[in-house]
Each structure stands twice: as structure tokens, then as C-alpha cells.
Amino acid sequence: MIPAAFEYYRPKDMASVLSLLEEHGDDARVMAGGHSLIPMMKLRMADVPHLIDLQDIEGLSDIEIGADTIEIGAMVTQMDLISHEGLADAAPILRETALQIADPQVRYMGTMGGNVANGDPVNDMPGLMQCLDATMSVIGPDGARDILAREFYEAAYMTAREDDEVLTSVTIPRPKGGHAYEKQKRKIGDYATAAAAVQIVKENGVCTSASIAMTNLSDIPIHSPDAEAALVGTAVDDAAIKAAMQAMLGDIDPSEDNRGPVAFKNHVAGVILRRAIERAWSRA
Amino acid sequence: MKDEVTRDERVDNLKGMGCSRKRVEDARFTHGKGNYVDDVKLDGMLFGDFVRSPHAHARIKNIDTSAALEVPGVLAVLTAADLEPLGLHWMPTLAGDKQMVLADGKVLFQGQEVAFVVAEDRYAASDGMEAVVVDYEELPVLVNPFEALKSDVVLREDLVAEDGSIPDGAHGSRKHANHIFTWEAGDKHTTDEVISNAEIVAEEEMYYHRTHPCPLETCGCVASMDKVNGKLTLWGTFQAPHAIRTIVALISGMEEHNIRVISPDIGGGFGNKVGAYPGYVCSVVASIVTGKPVKWIEDRMDNLMTTAFARDYWMKGKISATKDGKITGLHCHVTADHGGFDACADPTKFPAGFMNICTGSYDIPTAFLEVDGVYTNKAPGGVSYRCSFRVTEAVYFIERMIEVLAIKLNMDAAELRRINFIKKEQFPYTAALGWEYDSGDYHTAWDKALKTVDYDGLRAEQAQRVEDFKAGKTRKLMGIGLSFFTEIVGAGPVKNCDILGLGMFDSCEIRIHPTGSAIARLGTISQGQGHATTFAQILASEIGLPADSITIEEGDTDTAPYGLGTYGSRSTPVAGAATAMAGRKIRAKAQMIAAYLLEVHDDDVEFDVDRFVVKGAPEKFKTMKEIAFAAYNQAIPGMEPGLEAVSYYDPPNMTYPFGAYVCVMDIDVDTGVTEIRRFYALDDCGTRINPMIIEGQVHGGLTEALAVALGQEIAYDDMGNVKTGTLMDFFLPTAWEVPNYETDYTVTPSPHHPIGAKGVGESPHVGGVPCFSNAVQDAFRAFGNTHTNMPHDHWRIWKTANELGLHD
Amino acid sequence: MSNKMHVKFTVNGKVEEFLAEPRELLIYTLRERLNITGPHIGCETSHCGACSVTIDGKSVKACTMFAVQADGADITTIEGIGGPDDLHPLQNAFKEHHGLQCGYCTPGMITRATKLLEENPNPTEEEIRFGMAGNICRCTGYQNIIKAIQHAAAEMNAAKEAAE
């Protein structure tokens, strides 16, 4: 498996990245950890005449935990998320999710930016970012702009990021309440058969807010306000959870693959969602 | 001379049979100094790679190589047209069929080799492949053997006469253009009669899905033609280097002495590396054409899609019994999907391998087996993936039929097995389908297994779990998987086992050096089994020199004696026997030397651990080290100098290792996720040479069994596209998915094997697959399940639960 | 063919400098250009871990990285972990506890295990299984690999304690 020939660039600053993107247009791609892109290039399913490696760009690898928000640079790896000391307290769902992505070696290379920016529906972070109501920061020829994660994904591999823009960071409000990232997969290294990200706030035994999104059950991640609404104001009892499952079922649109047919995925989506809600609720 | 060490210490010093000697292979592997075929690097070496068909069935209208030849670094592009003048565009298969080396007018499976690009490096080869333009005309695709037998679409026009009639194949008459053979064993008439008159009959259809051995190292070779000396050297991933040399000689016309085949370190075989593949032929041709060494290494997709699938058996069974559970008859029909060419790696007379071991461990008075081989638009292969020839299929079949019968009888499946086992006193036992089982003590093994796992306690726990499930207290069911298997390994007697006419003996050649160390060369080749360690142990015990002083060498046809290689658990039964026999020849001569040195008659000395002693006077002795030196420095009257021996061993019978396995599994009914709580494996492989290595083989075989039972498959869509071409979708379990195994053993030596050993490498796979599968099926027994097909991945288990009404 | 680029990195303590096409994968650089053949190629899609090396303190699958990406990096392969005169406890433990059979996965397995024990010097069985899940072995069923890593960890911890 040998990729087609390409030109490689490793610019030192973002301005150079942007000018390379401008110069080569559709023929150029930026690369973070490369663990999605390089296999595709080796299989010659992705043709990238100009490859721009972001590893030398300053300022993309920081995790900043503020009073109200957490900003995670695009080049922060899954391993960084797992081993960061403050993050486990500030947003434990990030660690819980990162641990369920791929395997140790891939987590050392796989980045937040690479995971969210491609628009690959199999990736876990997009669903999580929607759950956490993240804001994606991108920079392009016309300057920087922010896009809500919940508005970022348009179709498989199609996002609100323009081809000449680069994702620089994601920012999330500090999550509140209990959390869970529940994922069913066939084995380590597999993508989700179904996965659910849930963040729930409990006050006096009642759910006051809920955030729910699911992964790999459509061509984009599925954030479900209806499922959230089904929980808010309830004691997250069986009826409420069933209502949330029902709402989610209306939002997802899985397709058959080697992991199983549609009926199975719809069923497992509900089961996984229930488990995520129950676990998050127990931690709330 | 007074000995300073005790006899026990002398035994220990040998590190002979029965001890867990650490492996001598490991030093190089743990240092990264193994030498696998892709590590071979020769001056001026070129790289070859295949343009492969994207279609499963298509006519090739044109191949345009001109653009590829313009790619810098590309030296040649071979097509069938280039090979035809040499008569090498097709090659014989091990199964009596022939196979296209490069697509000759059409392709029959996705991934088939169409053109071979030869270039200065792998980058140029890859670019060259992209530049070859092939014009295909797609043809209707047949991926189901039952449909293939009804279809007007002819896959192999070369096997249909001009008048449309169907000539006989290598194994007799053919019923249809897409039919390969019918193979029968047993007594059809009596079996039908017994079954139709039986008190109880259970029937089941089961599909043993297509899978793949998928060793971590793919197949590959380096061919180097030395035109000056007329010598060809071929390094490769060959489980049978001598057979490969003979095949190369037969198809190339070169004389065998001018061909040197070397199997270097092999990164796992599991059956994948038994056959001869187009890559080998093309590399040899390319080396002859260019005069330079040519390397060809499969990538993982090539490997999974084209070389050596396993299984793909559609099995239909009937089993009859009395009301109290005594089995009276067994009927089995198999529709075997062989893909586009019949390239099964079986002994010549056995087109369905040893499928006729399907009466298993049971005393079944009458049985009949019929196998129909069928062509489809899938990759050729049909290798024995970590088992003797088709034995995994046979054991899966009988171990499922036993469970199905137990359900029909409303009887405990462990008890049903017990009352039908062949009894210890019945050995040697001739089964209804012809095999003579050498030895066994099934009841002892079974009782030990059931007692160790507290079988009754497990059943009680399971019953409680069913109650809890019905009461809504849990969503997890518990399955208890049982399996009792008998393997048939060590092919085999030359009288009925050959490959391409080569009798399946094996060999060992020993040379004792003057200072009392030795080298032994064998016709086999290790792929991880640790031959360099264990064969030295056999010899140490036989000739009384320390295993640490004995080098074992395999895999170079210029130096090793002729042998048929390593697969089908045949190394210990056949080459291990040859080793012991050659050792005994050494010992016989050593006895005469010792007697001469001790100045007594030959009959007055006897062998004792590491020496010959004068009978009745143990203080008078000559060590084997002393004897070795004497063989080279004493002129002994009537005796040639030196101390060497060779043995070619033709086993009188196969060996029949057996075992008793129990698996305890929890199943999440809502997601189909399985969790193995416990796995107990008792193996009886006869005499145990190295318990550490046996245990390692069992762990590995069980893990491959787990993979096959729970998810590993080569799946095709209706268009013949392979859906599982990478390790994302082809299930190889990681450490996270694999349980700890409990291993145990009994020892029932083989009566006909020189050291009583039977072979073990494949037993755990053979016994493991039905055990895992039975655990899944058993979990649903209380809810009416009789049988569901493997692989038991999440969605298929979920489907079973769903169809049984276990979801809301 | 594209322009060759200058690459300089350190492998097992030795500086290597060469010109390479950008598409040259690190695993081929190591194996074919530098004759460091310990890391192997198993799956080519970053699933099996046979090609595992350590790059700047990270466990990396060298089949999924271009050599140019590693420009400036410090790389360790199995060849740099220990030799006959300075055997690493893991190398010894794999042999002592039969943690290998065909040996093909072993260099990647041991290389990854060195890093695992750096991350977590005293791992439980579950942590080893999880931490080694990026490395596939087809022969051993992992049981003895885990045992080997446990024993190596104990030996390394004891040596550390003795030194303190």
C-alpha cells in the first residue's frame, strides 16, 4: 500500500498554511496526526497532491481550562486529553471518550482537530462536541470565525468549514452534572456500532438540563434536542428514558454495514443511549 | 570414576522431553533479529506487485500496459500473454485442478491477479500498477454454491467440452459445469435405513462460514535467478519448502538440484502458507526475464482477498438415536464452496480432507458422508486453518449435532456425550467412516473436565439465571459451551496420503560433532511452534546429549532432507518420529562404540540418560560425549568413523489427539455482546515434549477459535465484493477481547508413535470453535434455540435473541 | 515522483540523514533504507502494531507516518531497547514466560510494552490488556505476553527500589 506521490510542507506559522491552501486549492489538505488520512492515501482512496503538516504550528497543542470554558487546540492528541491533569476534573467526559477511541498508539497521534474537522461520521469527538455544545474556531483567508459544533456537520465529509479554512481549536462551556460516553464496538480499534454522549444536571432529584448526542448512526453526528427535552423536568425514570430513546430513534438514520443491519443499529442505539443516560444520571 | 552429579541431575542437564525448556528461538526475535522473507535484501533487487481485478467475474477484453511501462522505474509488466509461451499462464493446484497465474481472458474472483508489474522499487511498482489499463466486460456473479449448481452461467469454460458435455474432474464425474466433485465415505444404504427406522432423529443445517488464517506476516517471496550458474534461489513463506521446490521444478522444467528453496523465519502460517501462489510463479519468471532478484510481498488486503481462505462448508446433518440416547447413525452432506479454482490443500485422495472424521469421539455404528465441491466467484483456497485437513469442519459438525440431538432428547449434552464415547477398551477403534483411532481415554478426560469446572454447579447457576431473566432481574443470559473433540493429525501414511504424488513421510538427519554437540536437519519448518527447541529435546532424550548442544535446522532444501513440511499438526507425529528414529540409529552405533571402549560385548552395555553403562556395573560407563569423540578419533575395527544418521519416517497410522473443553459465557441479550467468564481446556496430545510450548499452543489455538466463532469472516456481497478486506473488519482479537484460559491435560500416548506423541498445535482451534459456538447456542437453549450459524458477532446474536422474542 | 526532501532524525541514538520522497513511509525508511528490520509490517492500516516504534516519547505505528513527518525526531526501535550485553527486562521476560511464538509481533510488542511500563510502572492485568490492545498477536493468545510484562514490571520496580 503506497500512496501516490505528493509534495509535503511543514510550515512554521498559520499564515504559511493559509497561503499554501490558497495556492493549491482543492489539491491541498492539512494533516494533523494523519491516522485517518494516511491510510486513505495508502489505499489510494484519497488523492492529496499537496500535504500540509501542521505539527510545527505554534499554539495548536494547548488545553486551557478557564472559569467558564475549556479551549482545546486542534493538535491536542487523545493521549493529551487522557493524561491532562486538570481535564479529568473539569470535563471527565473528554477522557472517558478519548479512552474509547482506537488504541494506545493511535491515541498518541490522533488529534482533536483531525477527529472533528473531517466530518467522518465514524469519529467519536464530533458527537461529543455536539453534546457539549462546543464552538469550533477556524481560520481562513478572511480571518478567524467560530462555528457551533451543532451546526458544523452537513453531510459525510461535508462541514461548515471551507476548504481554505483550518480548524484551530474547539471551545466548550465547562460541563456540568453527570456524564457518560457509552460506546458499543466490535473490538479495540473499531468504530462505534453506536455511541452516546450524555451530560445531565440533577437538582433535587430532577433533571434540569440534559445534553445528548450520538455517533455513527447517520452520516453526521446526531444531537437530539427532543431526547434532551424528554428528560428535562423528569426524575429520569424509566418512562422518561424511554421517551428520550423514542425521540432519538426519530433523529438517527443508521445504514447497514459489517456491524449489522438497520434494525439492529436502531435497537442498540436505544440500549446504548439508555445506558449512557443511566450512568450519567447516577453521576449527576 | 565416581560421578559427581546424581542421575536426576543428569536427566535435568539434558533438558530432554517433558521439561519446559525455554525456547532457543527467542533471543533473535526479542532483539528484532529474526530473518523473515521481507528482511531479505539483495543487490539490485526489484519489486513485483499485482494489478488485481476489481470485479468478481468478468471477461478481459484488453490489457494496455503501455502507460505503465512509461512510469520511471518500471521495467516490465507481465500478463498471461507473456507467460503463455512458457506454459506458465496456468499452474497446477494441489487439488488436481489448475489455476490461472495471470488472468487468461477472464477473471473469476475479486482480487484475482491480472498483471505483474516489475519495478526498481515498491513505489514505482505501485505507480505502474495504477497505470495499467484493463478493459473488463462484467459477467453475472455467482457467490452462492447452491445457485452456482443451478445456474447457466459457466465459470470455468476450460472445464466444459466443446459439445457442452462435462468431462470428469480430478475426483471423478461432475454433475454440472460449476460442480467439481462428489466425494463419499461410509455406507449410504445402511445409514439411510438406520435413520429412517430410528426412534429419535435430529436434523440440522449449518453453515461454517468462510474465514482466513491471516498470519501476521503475509505471504511473499524473493526469487533470484543466477543465470551464470543456472541456479535459482527462492526465499519464501513456505510451510512446505521441499514441495515448493518440486512444484517449481515440475512447472519450470528446471532440474531440482538447480533450485534452492529457503523458508526463513515465518511469521505464522496457520495453513495460509501451504499452497503455491501466482506471486511465486511471477517472481520466478520475472527474475529469469530480468536476471535480477525479484521480491513480491502481499499487502494485507491481497492476503485476505486472494490467498487461502478456509472453511465455507454448508453442512446438512441427520443423527439418529434410541430414546435413551444411544446414537445409531449419522448422515452428513456438505456443499463445499471452493471459489474459482479448486486449490484446496489436501492429500490427493481426500478432496474433502479428513471430513470423514465427522463421527467424532463417539461410537457411531453406521455413518455416511457426501461432499459436493462447487465453483463460485470467490477466491480459491480451502486450506486447513489451524487444523488438520477439514477437521475443524468435521468436529464443528458433530459437536453441533450432539447438542441438537440432546435438545431433541431433552437430555443433558454432557451426559449424551458420555454415554456415546468410544470406550477406552475399544481402542484401536475403527470408525464407521474408516479411520482407525490409535488410542484414547475419553471418559477420564471428560469426567476430569466436568469435575474441575463444577459442571453441575454451573448448570444450577444457569437455571437460576434463566429464572432471573424471566423475572426481569437481569438482561444477561449464561451459556455453557461443551466440546469434546478428536483430531486426526500427522498425515500421514504414504499408503493413503500424498500431495502431488509425494508421499507424506518426513525426515531427520543427524550429525554428531566430535566434541559431543550435534546438528539435526528436518524436512519440516517452524512458523512459531518452536521446533528448534522441542526437536532438540526429543533428541536429547534419545541420544543423551544436552538439548543445548543440539542445533536444529530446517527450511533450506539444499541442506535439509526431503520432507513434506509443517501443517496439519504433522511435525511432531511425523518429523518428531523421524527425529526419534534417527536418534535411535545414533544410539545403536554409540552402543557398539561404547562396548568397544569398555571392552565388553555390545549386549553387555545399556543406555542410561547420557551414557552407556556396563550392565550391573554402573561405575563403568562411557558418556555420549566420550563416545562422540571416539567416533572420530578411534579406529574401531569393522566400523566406519563418524556418527551420523538419517531417518525417513512413514507413519503406520495417523495420531488422534483429543480434548475436553468447557466455556462459560455471559451474553447481553440487548446488544449481542459476549463476555467469556471462563474457559477450561483439557488436552491429551499423548506424550508431552515441552509443557510450556503445549500450553502456548493451546492459548493461541483457542484465541483463533474465539475469533472464528465470534466474528472472523471473509464476507462477500452479492456482486462478489469482499466486505472484510482490512483488519478493521476482519476480526483479529486484541488482548482486550481475549480471556485467560485454564489448561489441563491427561496423557494417553500414541501406541504406534516412537515416543507416543500425537501433536497439539491445532487441537485447541478444532475443539475451541464448537466450544465457543456451543456456549452461545446453549445460552438460548431454554428459549427454544436449536442452532444459529457462526460467526456469533453482536448483531447475529442480537438477531437470535430478537427472533426468540427476548426483546420488548 | 515528487521532489525528494532532506530528512534528519535520530534512531537508536544514531543520527541518520538522507533524501526521501515525501511518500516514503517511516516503516520502509527504517526497514529498507536503514536496515533496521526489527519493526515489521502486518496490516498497513494502523491496526496490528507490528511496526510500533517510539518517537519522541510516543508509541507510534510506523506504517502510518511518513519519514518526512519524523524529521527532527528521536526514534527508538526494538534494536535500541537492549542487546545481548544490556538485555532489557522485557526481552528476558518474553523468553522466560513464553510470550512469543512466531516472533513477528514481538519487536512491536516489546517496544510498546517499554512505553506502557513508563506510563504505568505497576499495571494490573486489565491495564496491560488495555495498554497493549494496539498490538495484535496471532500465536500466543496474549496470556503469556501479559505474564511476561507483569514479571518485567516487577523486576524493573525491584531494581528501581534497590537503586534508591
How far away is chain A from the Cα of B221, in angstroms, using its nearest Cα? 17
Cα distance between the two ends of chain B? 85
Q: Which among B23, B527, B529 has the least Cβ separation from residue C98?
A: B23
Q: Exposure pattern of A196-233 as b/e (b: 16+ CB <10 Å)?
A: bbbbbbbeeeebeebbbbbbbbbbbbbbbeebbebbbe
Q: Which three cell numbers stand for residue A27?
A: 489539491
The residue among B77, B113, B120 whose CA lies nearest residue B285 is: B77
| pLDDT-above-70 percentage for chain B | 100
Residue B700 contacts C where some CB pair is shorter than 8 Å: yes
Residue B149 CA: distances (Å) to CA of B143, B153, B339, B344, B716: 11, 9, 13, 19, 18
Residues of chain C with pLDDT under 50: none
Q: Which spans in B518-571 are helix H?
A: 531-543
Q: Which among A4, A6, A106 has the least Cβ separation from residue C134?
A: A106
The residue among B628, B623, B636 whose CA lies nearest residue B518 is: B628
The answer to whether the Cβ–Cβ distance between A55 and C69 falls below 8 Å is yes
Residue B264 contacts C where some CB pair is shorter than 8 Å: no
Supply the DSSP symbol for B789.
P
- Quick one: CA dihedral A15, A16, A22, A27, positive or negative? negative
For chain A, the residue count is: 284
Q: How many CB pairs under 8 A join A and C?
A: 86
Judging contacts by C-beta atoms under 8 Å, the chain C residues touching residue A5 are: 1-2, 21-23
Residue type for position B152:
D
Torsion of CA B520, B526, B530, B532, to 10 degrees: 20
Per-residue confidence (pLDDT) for residue B673, from 0 to 100: 98
- In degrees and rounded to multiples of 5, residue B289 shows phi and psi of -65, -45
How far away is chain B from the Cα of A93, in angstroms, using its nearest Cα? 22
* Tens digit of each residue's pLDDT (9 = 90 or more) over B648-697: 999 999 999 999 999 999 999 999 999 999 999 999 999 999 999 999 99
- The answer on pLDDT for B1 being more than 60 is no
Per-residue confidence (pLDDT) for residue B738, from 0 to 100: 98
Rounded distance between C-alpha atoms, residue A237 and residue A226, angstroms:
16
The residue among B17, B145, B6, B184 whose CA lies nearest residue B546 is: B17
Supply the DSSP symbol for C64.
G
- In degrees and rounded to multiples of 5, residue B61 shows phi and psi of -90, -35
Q: Which spans in B493-623 are helix H?
A: 531-543, 577-598
Q: Which among C43, C78, C129 has the least Cβ separation from residue B300?
A: C43
Rounded distance between C-alpha atoms, residue A127 and residue A106, angstroms:
19
Regarding beta strands B327-339 and B309-321, do their DSSP bridges make them parallel or antiparallel, or are they unpaired?
antiparallel
Q: Which three cell numbers stand for residue C81?
A: 531497547
Supply the DSSP symbol for B384.
-
Band the pLDDT of B251: cuts 50, 70, 90.
confident
Residue B22 contacts C where some CB pair is shorter than 8 Å: yes
Q: Which residue of B19, B21, B28, B29 is the best one to mutate when testing the C interface, meaning the one whose CB has the most C CBs within 10 A? A: B29
- CA triplet A204, A205, A208: central angle to 5 degrees? 80
- In degrees and rounded to multiples of 5, residue B135 shows phi and psi of -100, 110
Residue type for position B444:
T
Rounded distance between C-alpha atoms, residue B690 and residue B699, angstroms:
14
Taking an 8 Å Cβ-Cβ cutoff, which residues of chain C contact chain A? 1-3, 5, 21-23, 25, 44-47, 49, 52, 58-61, 64-66, 68-69, 71, 112, 116, 130-134
Coil, strand or helix: which one is C74?
strand
The residues of B annotated as belonging to the active site are 239, 386-387, 762
Band the pLDDT of B808: cuts 50, 70, 90.
confident
- In degrees and rounded to multiples of 5, residue C157 shows phi and psi of -65, -40
Coil, strand or helix: which one is B68?
helix
Given a contact cutoff of 8 angstroms between Cβ atoms, the answer to whether B405 and B415 are in contact is no
Q: Exposure pattern of B665-676 as b/e (b: 16+ CB <10 Å)?
A: bbbbbbbbbbeb
Judging contacts by C-beta atoms under 8 Å, the chain C residues touching residue B525 are: none
Given a contact cutoff of 8 angstroms between Cβ atoms, the answer to whether B698 and B743 are in contact is yes
Residue B183 contacts C where some CB pair is shorter than 8 Å: no
The residue among B279, B8, B111 whose CA lies nearest residue B723 is: B111
Q: Do the interacting molecules here have an ipTM over 0.95?
A: yes
Per-residue confidence (pLDDT) for residue B410, from 0 to 100: 97
Regarding beta strands B429-430 and B436-437, do their DSSP bridges make them parallel or antiparallel, or are they unpaired?
antiparallel
* Tens digit of each residue's pLDDT (9 = 90 or more) over B495-526: 989 888 889 999 999 999 999 999 999 999 99
Residue B678 contacts C where some CB pair is shorter than 8 Å: no
Residue A5 contacts B where some CB pair is shorter than 8 Å: yes
How far away is chain A from the Cα of C46, in angstroms, using its nearest Cα? 8
How far away is chain A from the Cα of B667, in angstroms, using its nearest Cα? 14
Chains near A (3 or more Cβ pairs under 8 Å):
B, C
Q: Which among A7, A104, A189 has the least Cβ separation from residue C59?
A: A104
* Tens digit of each residue's pLDDT (9 = 90 or more) over A55-109: 999 999 999 999 999 999 999 999 999 999 999 999 999 999 999 999 999 999 9
Coil, strand or helix: which one is B23?
coil
How far away is chain B from the Cα of C163, in angstroms, using its nearest Cα? 26
Q: How many other β-carbons are positioned within 10 Å of the β-carbon of residue B252?
A: 18
Mean pLDDT over the full length of chain B? 96
The answer to whether the Cβ–Cβ distance between A264 and B795 falls below 8 Å is yes
With a CB-CB cutoff of 8 Å, which residues 63-92 of chain A face chain C? 79
User: How many contiguous H segments (helices) and E segments (strands) does chain B have?
Assistant: 20, 33
- Burial of B216 (C-beta count, 10 Å sphere; 0-12/13-18/19+): buried
As a 3-state breakdown, chain B gives helix, strand, coil percent values, each rounded to 5, of 30, 25, 40
* Tens digit of each residue's pLDDT (9 = 90 or more) over B735-758: 999 999 999 999 999 999 999 999
Judging contacts by C-beta atoms under 8 Å, the chain B residues touching residue C133 are: 734-736
Rounded distance between C-alpha atoms, residue A20 and residue A8, angstroms:
11
Dihedral-angle region of residue B56 (phi above 0 means left; psi in -120 to 50 means alpha; beta otherwise): alpha
Cβ partners under 8 Å of residue A211, min gap 6: A131, A132, A133, A175, A197, A198, A199, A200, A228
- Burial of B363 (C-beta count, 10 Å sphere; 0-12/13-18/19+): middle
Judging contacts by C-beta atoms under 8 Å, the chain B residues touching residue C136 are: 216, 727, 732-734
Judging contacts by C-beta atoms under 8 Å, the chain B residues touching residue C98 are: 22-23, 692-693, 695-696
Rounded distance between C-alpha atoms, residue B277 and residue B306, angstroms:
9
Per-residue confidence (pLDDT) for residue B3, from 0 to 100: 55
Q: Which among C39, C129, C138 has the least Cβ separation from residue B215?
A: C138
The answer to whether the Cβ–Cβ distance between B31 and C79 falls below 8 Å is yes
With a CB-CB cutoff of 8 Å, which residues 241-280 of chain A face chain B? 258-261, 263-264, 267-268, 271-272
* Tens digit of each residue's pLDDT (9 = 90 or more) over A111-164: 999 999 989 999 999 999 999 999 999 999 999 999 999 999 999 999 999 999
How far away is chain C from the Cα of B532, in angstroms, using its nearest Cα? 12
Q: Which among B36, B699, B733 has the least Cβ separation from residue C144?
A: B699
Per-residue confidence (pLDDT) for residue C53, from 0 to 100: 98
* Tens digit of each residue's pLDDT (9 = 90 or more) over B383-401: 999 999 999 999 999 999 9
Q: Which residue of C1, C6, C23 is the best one to mutate when testing the A interface, meaning the one whose CB has the most A CBs within 10 A? A: C23
Q: Exposure pattern of B734-748 as b/e (b: 16+ CB <10 Å)?
A: bbbbbbebebbbbeb
Band the pLDDT of A272: cuts 50, 70, 90.
very high
Judging contacts by C-beta atoms under 8 Å, the chain C residues touching residue A106 are: 46, 61, 134
Residue B33 contacts C where some CB pair is shorter than 8 Å: yes
Residue C8 CA: distances (Å) to CA of B708, C5, C19, C20, C65: 45, 10, 9, 10, 15
Residue A133 contacts C where some CB pair is shorter than 8 Å: no
Band the pLDDT of B2: cuts 50, 70, 90.
low
Q: Which three cell numbers stand for residue B439?
A: 488410542
How far away is chain C from the Cα of A255, in angstroms, using its nearest Cα? 24
The residue among C115, C146, C141 whose CA lies nearest residue C129 is: C146
Q: How many CB pairs under 8 A join B and C?
A: 177
The answer to whether the Cβ–Cβ distance between B798 and A264 falls below 8 Å is yes
Cα distance between the two ends of chain C? 55
Rounded distance between C-alpha atoms, residue B319 and residue B364, angstroms:
10
Q: Which among A8, A34, A43 has the least Cβ separation from residue C22?
A: A8
Chains near B (3 or more Cβ pairs under 8 Å):
A, C
The answer to whether the Cβ–Cβ distance between B723 and A258 falls below 8 Å is yes
Cα distance between the two ends of chain A? 48
Chains near C (3 or more Cβ pairs under 8 Å):
A, B
Which helix (H) or strand (E) is C119 found in, with range? helix C106-119
Band the pLDDT of B420: cuts 50, 70, 90.
very high
Per-residue confidence (pLDDT) for residue C1, from 0 to 100: 58
HSE-CB for B101 with a 13 A CA cutoff: 26
Judging contacts by C-beta atoms under 8 Å, the chain A residues touching residue B671 are: 184, 268, 271-272
With a CB-CB cutoff of 8 Å, which residues 272-331 of chain B face chain A? 299-301
Per-residue confidence (pLDDT) for residue C120, from 0 to 100: 97
Supply the DSSP symbol for C139.
S
Residue B26 contacts C where some CB pair is shorter than 8 Å: yes
Q: What is the 3-state secondary structure (H, E, C) of chain A?
A: CCCCCCEEECCCCHHHHHHHHHHHHHHEEEECCCCCHHHHHHCCCCCCCEEEECCCCCCCCCEEECCCEEEEECCCEHHHHHHCCCHHHHCHHHHHHHCCCCCHHHHHHCEHHHHHHCCCCCCCHHHHHHHCCCEEEEEECCEEEEEEHHHCEEECCEECCCCCCEEEEEEEECCCCEEEEEEECCCCCCCCCEEEEEEEEEECCEEEEEEEEEECCCCCCEECHHHHHHHCCCCCCHHHHHHHHHHHHHHCCCCCECCECHHHHHHHHHHHHHHHHHHHHHHC
Q: What is the largest CA-CA distance in chain C?
A: 56
List of E strands, B8-146: 46-52, 58-64, 74-78, 90-92, 98-100, 106-107, 113-119, 133-138
Rounded distance between C-alpha atoms, residue B294 and residue B278, angstroms:
14
How far away is chain B from the Cα of A173, in angstroms, using its nearest Cα? 33
Q: Which residue of C101, C114, C150 is the best one to mutate when testing the B interface, meaning the one whose CB has the most B CBs within 10 A? A: C101
Rounded distance between C-alpha atoms, residue B375 and residue B336, angstroms:
9
How far away is chain B from the Cα of C164, in angstroms, using its nearest Cα? 29
- The answer on pLDDT for B168 being more than 70 is yes
- Burial of B333 (C-beta count, 10 Å sphere; 0-12/13-18/19+): middle
